[in-house]
Amino acid sequence: MIGLTVAKKAATYGYKRYGIPGAVASGAIALAAYIGVRRALRSATDNADADVDVETLTQAVDEGSLEDVPGVGSERGNQ
């Protein structure tokens, strides 16, 4: 629903400024940008848990050393 609203507002702006070609172009560009951002955010959140094994992380916390956990230790630059 948000994507449709964004595209409609962009199309209205394009129509007022450039007529029908502007409405089509600006609406299509806004919709494509919205879909691209949505896909990028979705793929970023889907892969968040893929790097860390929960059991290994729990064991490392119990032992007091996170250096042995892939994706959490010194590779990511703990500060």
pLDDT: is 43 or 47 the higher one?
43
Report the pLDDT value the prediction gives residue 79, as an integer from 0 to 100. Answer: 45
* Residue 31 identity (one-letter amino acid): L
Q: Where are the domains of the chain?
A: 2-65
pLDDT at residue 26 tops 70? yes
What are the tokens at 76? Answer: 């990511």
Spatial separation of the C-alpha atoms in residues 39 and 44, rounded to whole Å: 8
Question: What DSSP designation does 67 have?
Answer: T
- Contacts of residue 73, defined as CB under 8 A and 6 or more positions apart, other chains included, come to 66, 67
pLDDT at residue 9 tops 80? yes
Cβ–Cβ contacts within 10 Å for residue 10, how many?
Answer: 21
What are the tokens at 4? Answer: 């449709």
Report the pLDDT value the prediction gives residue 77, as an integer from 0 to 100. Answer: 47
Question: What percent of the chain lies above the pLDDT cut of 70?
Answer: 66
Mean pLDDT of 48-73: 65
